[in-house]
Amino acid sequence: MRPTQRLIIEEMGVRPEIDPEQEVERRVRFLADYLTQTRTRGFILGISGGVDSTLAGRLAQLAAERVRKSGGEAVFVAVRLPYRVQFDEADAQAALRFIAPDETITYNVAPAVDGFESEYLEAVGTDLSDFTKGNTKARLRMVAQYAVAGDRGLLVLGTDQAAESTTGFFTKFGDGGADLLPLFTLNKRQCRQLLQHLNAPEQVWAKVPTADLLDLNAGRTDEDELGLRYDDIDDYLEGRQVAEEIAEKIETIWWRTRHKRTTPVSLLDDWWRE
Ligand SMILES: Nc1ncnc2c1ncn2[C@@H]1O[C@H](COP(=O)(O)OP(=O)(O)OC[C@H]2O[C@@H]([n+]3cccc(C(=O)O)c3)[C@H](O)[C@@H]2O)[C@@H](O)[C@H]1O
Ligand SMILES: Nc1ncnc2c1ncn2[C@@H]1O[C@H](COP(=O)(O)OP(=O)(O)OP(=O)(O)O)[C@@H](O)[C@H]1O
Ligand SMILES: [Mg+2]
C-alpha cells in the first residue's frame, strides 16, 4: 500500500470490511451515551434528502428513542433547510418518512442568504460569486441549526464521513461546523450499506450525491465537481490499489484541504510546515 494511503486510512479510521449491524449499534450507542453523559437534551440535524443526512438522522432518532426508553429525556429535531424550493424536495420528504423524527422544522434559508448577498454588493462593490454564495448557504444552514440548538439545549450533528473528510468536500464552518460526527470512519459505500441494513428506501440509499449549493447548476453532482468517483475514493480508503493518477489526485486534494480538518491554525501549530 502507498505510505500516504496508509496514513490517510489511519487518520480516517476506515475499516475495509464492516458488519452493518455492529456499525449501526456502535454509532447509536455513541450518540445515546454522549447525551446521557453530557446531560444534553437531544440532537438537531439538517435533512437534505441525501445519503449522509438520512443515515445520520435515523441514527439520531434511534439514539433519542434509546435514551427515552432508559428513562432519560431526549429528542431528535430534523430540520429542512431549503434555499427557496429544493429541486429534489420529494427525496427530502422520503428521507423524513424513513427517519420518522420526533419533530420536524422547516427553515427556508433564502431570506438570510439573499439579504446577505445584497448587503455584500453594497459593502464590497462586487457581486458575490455563485460558488461563494453556495458556501454562504451552507454556513447559514449551520447558523440556523445552532440557533435552535442554543435555545433548546440540543447538539448539532454533522454528516462528515471518510470520503468527504479525505477530500475536504464540505464548507469550512458550514456543514463542517458541528458538535458530533456520527458517520466518521465510514466511506460512502459503507454509508449506503448501513442505510440498506436499516431498510431505507432505494430512492434514498441509491441517491447520487450532490452538495446542491449553486444557483446556476442545481444538483451538480459531487463527482462532477471533485473530478473523482466515490467508488475510487472508497476503494482507496479500503486500502485497495487504484490507478496511480487517481491515488495522486486524492492525495493532492487531501493535502490541500488539511486546514479544514484542524482547529484554526495558531502560532503553536506546525503541521502545515511538513
Ligand atoms: N491553507 C489554508 N490554511 C487555513 N485556511 C485556509 C487555507 N486555505 C484556505 N483557507 C480558508 O478556507 C476557505 C475555503 O474553504 P471553504 O470556505 O470551505 O471553501 P472551498 O473549500 O473552496 O469550497 C467548499 C467545497 O466543498 C463543497 N461542499 C460544500 C458543502 C457541502 C458539500 C457537500 O458535499 O454536500 C460540498 C463545495 O461544493 C466546494 O467544492 C478560504 O476562503 C480560506 O478562508
Ligand atoms: N437543503 C438542505 N436541507 C437541510 N439540510 C441540508 C440541505 N443541504 C445540505 N444540508 C446539510 O448539509 C449536509 C452536507 O451535505 P451533503 O450533501 O454532504 O450530505 P447529504 O446531502 O446528506 O448526502 P449526499 O452527500 O449523499 O448528497 C447534509 O448532510 C445536511 O445535514
Ligand atoms: Mg447532498
Tens-digit pLDDT profile for residues 19-56: 999 999 999 999 999 999 999 999 999 999 999 999 99
What are the binding residues? 46-53, 139, 159, 164, 172, 179, 188, 210, 259-260
State the cell numbers at 7: 496514513
- Asked if 28 contacts 59 with a C-beta cutoff of 8 angstroms, the reply is yes
pTM comes to 0.98
Catalytic residue numbers read 52, 164
> In this predicted structure, what is the pLDDT of residue 218?
94
The mean per-residue pLDDT over the stretch 109-125 comes to 98
Report the candidate in 1, 4, 271, 9 with the shortest Cα–Cα distance to residue 163. 9
Cβ of 145 less than 6 Å from ligand 2: no
> In this predicted structure, what is the pLDDT of residue 274?
80
Q: Residue 67 above 90 pLDDT?
A: yes
Report the candidate in 103, 32, 99, 25 with the shortest Cα–Cα distance to residue 64. 32
Q: Express each pLDDT in 214-247 by its tens digit.
A: 999 999 999 999 999 999 999 999 999 999 999 9
Ion ligand 3, residue ranges at CB < 5 A: 48, 50, 210
Cβ of 225 less than 6 Å from ligand 1: yes
Q: Mean pLDDT, the chain, as a whole number?
A: 98
Report the candidate in 170, 131, 146, 134 with the shortest Cα–Cα distance to residue 52. 170
Cβ of 52 less than 6 Å from ligand 1: no
Q: How many CA atoms lie less than 13 Å away from 94 in the CB half-sphere?
A: 16
Burial (Cβ within 10 Å: 0-12, 13-18, ≥19) of residue 229: middle
Q: Express each pLDDT in 167-196 by its tens digit.
A: 999 999 999 999 999 999 999 999 999 999
Q: Whose CA is nearest to atom 11 of ligand 2?
A: 46
- 63: Cβ–Cβ under 8 A, 6 or more apart, which residues? 28, 29, 31, 32, 35, 43, 74, 76
* Residue the block writes with cell 447538539: 155
- Asked if 138 contacts 174 with a C-beta cutoff of 8 angstroms, the reply is yes
The CA distance from 160 to 174, in Å, is 11
> In this predicted structure, what is the pLDDT of residue 253?
98
The mean per-residue pLDDT over the stretch 125-143 comes to 98
What are the binding residues for ATP? 46-53, 159, 188, 210
Q: How far is the CA of 225 from the centre of ligand 3 (A)?
A: 13
> In this predicted structure, what is the pLDDT of residue 214?
97
> In this predicted structure, what is the pLDDT of residue 251?
98
State the cell numbers at 152: 433548546
Given ligand 1 and candidates 169, 221, 263, which is best to mutate, with the most ligand atoms within 8 Å of its CB? 169
Q: Whose CA is nearest to atom 34 of ligand 1?
A: 211
Report the candidate in 194, 167, 132 with the shortest Cα–Cα distance to residue 253. 167
- Asked if 9 contacts 237 with a C-beta cutoff of 8 angstroms, the reply is yes
Work out the number of other CB atoms within 10 angstroms of the CB of residue 89.
Answer: 12
State the cell numbers at 33: 451515551
Q: Is the ipTM of this complex over 0.95?
A: yes
Q: Express each pLDDT in 148-165 by its tens digit.
A: 999 999 999 999 999 999
State the cell numbers at 64: 433519542
Q: How far is the CA of 3 from the centre of ligand 2 (A)?
A: 32
Give the SS3 label for residue 78.
strand
Q: How far is the CA of 48 from the centre of ligand 3 (A)?
A: 6
Percent of the chain with pLDDT over 70: 100
Work out the number of other CB atoms within 10 angstroms of the CB of residue 147.
Answer: 12
Closest approach atom of ligand 2 to CA 174 = 12
Q: Whose CA is nearest to atom 18 of ligand 2?
A: 211
- Asked if 72 contacts 35 with a C-beta cutoff of 8 angstroms, the reply is yes
- Asked if 174 contacts 134 with a C-beta cutoff of 8 angstroms, the reply is no
> In this predicted structure, what is the pLDDT of residue 125?
98
The mean per-residue pLDDT over the stretch 100-121 comes to 98
The CA distance from 111 to 137, in Å, is 11
Cβ of 81 less than 6 Å from ligand 2: yes
Radius of gyration (C-alpha) of the chain in whole angstroms? 19
Report the candidate in 209, 217, 214 with the shortest Cα–Cα distance to residue 164. 209
- Asked if 67 contacts 29 with a C-beta cutoff of 8 angstroms, the reply is no
Q: Is the dihedral of CA 109, 174, 39, 104 positive or negative?
A: positive
Cβ of 51 less than 6 Å from ligand 1: no
Q: How far is the CA of 2 from the centre of ligand 3 (A)?
A: 30
The ligand whose atoms approach the alpha carbon of 55 most closely is 2
Q: How far is the CA of 49 from the centre of ligand 2 (A)?
A: 7
